[in-house]
Amino acid sequence: MTDPLMLRETREAPNVIERQTREHAPLLSELAREIARRAPLFAVTVARGSSDHAALVAKYALEVALGLPVASATPSVHTLYGRTLKLDRALVLAVSQSGESPDVVETVASARAAGALTVALVNREDSPLARAAEFVLPLMAGEERAVAATKSYLASLTAAFGLVAALAEDAALSQALTRLPDVLRSALEVESVARDRAERYRYAETMVVLGRGLHFGVAHESALKLKETSGLMAEAYSAAEFSHGPVRVVEAGFPILALSSRDEAAASTAATLRDLAGKGAELVLIGADADVPAPVRLLTPPSGHAFTDTVVTAAAVYLLAGHLALARGLDPDAPPSLRKVTLTR
């Protein structure tokens, strides 16, 4: 049996990132100079679906590395309510695989007309979004045929990190991006573990996904993939917020997909996970190893930087999600009611 496109395209990500890192250098230098010259006071992201989850990771990266406040745009303010926002001192980052959704395109065009510095992180360089933005940072993921985005999401993260590295003059992050393809190839070897462990959750109906800080956007992406490919009612929460009420749902055997980092969020996340295990939760630990009682562990190698660790974690989640769908007798490439490109207004 041929592997689903979702899994095959996940495995293509190292080559995509290798090409992107090599070819983006002159673009990033030019863009970083222009952003520095115009000195935006804040940034706004515009995206939908998986791209919005990549934008959430980018928000943390921009705020942690540069201290630049970042907000998420609500396209309906422009497309439905007809309002133009005051974005003349803003950096607007639009993230999209297809670059076709009218609400994202119109929001970026409105922001550019209002004086914002607009940048499209987009896979299709001939798309309406690419034409609407002032600058284009191509994802270079090639054709992505699986309904569930994988390599385009990972490429969105690395494109954003490349921009952050150029703006912050962060040599460590630049070096981590250069090494990332090889690290990711090593991390994908966890697929055999993902295949074996997926069977354990064949009959699960609900799952919580926890991540904190940089991994919060990956948690949202993970929950989306579990919904899309397995029809699982998965919800993402910050590891800091889950104890403020949602913890009520935890009982013996309740599955929690826990994203474990190597950064400043690691200790507090581990403490939360130990508390949840004490309440009977069954933890599926993905990412860095941690001192928590998790019966299922998909451990990934360090990438050399907290930002790029998110890419490795997300790839491991994709492998688990794809094999979980197969274990449930489902085709992750043919989720009912979904199509590759969704056009919203």
The answer to whether position 63 is within a domain reads yes
For residues 214 and 242, membership in a common domain is answered with yes
Q: Report the number of distinct structural domains present in the chain.
A: 2
Report residue 1's pLDDT band, with 50, 70 and 90 as the boundaries.
Answer: low
**Domain boundary pick from 118, 140, 169:** 169
- Whole-structure pTM value: 0.96
For residues 240 and 147, membership in a common domain is answered with no
What's the rounded Cα separation, in Å, for the pair 294 and 20? 36
What backbone torsions phi and psi does residue 295 show, to the nearest 5 degrees?
Answer: -70, -20
Other CB atoms within a 10 A radius of the CB of residue 275 amount to 15
Q: What residues contact residue 228 under an 8 Å CB cut-off, 6+ apart? A: 147, 148, 332, 335, 338
**What does the pLDDT read at residue 335?**
84
For residue 228, the enclosing domain spans 185-327
What's the rounded Cα separation, in Å, for the pair 150 and 139? 12
DSSP 111: H
**What does the pLDDT read at residue 342?**
60
**What does the pLDDT read at residue 179?**
98
Give yes or no for a contact between 95 and 58, defined as CB atoms under 8 angstroms apart: yes
For residues 146 and 290, membership in a common domain is answered with no
Q: How confident is the model over 42-85, as pLDDT tens digits? A: 999 999 999 999 999 999 999 999 999 999 999 899 888 989 89
For residues 191 and 152, membership in a common domain is answered with no
The answer to whether position 277 is within a domain reads yes
For residues 104 and 205, membership in a common domain is answered with no
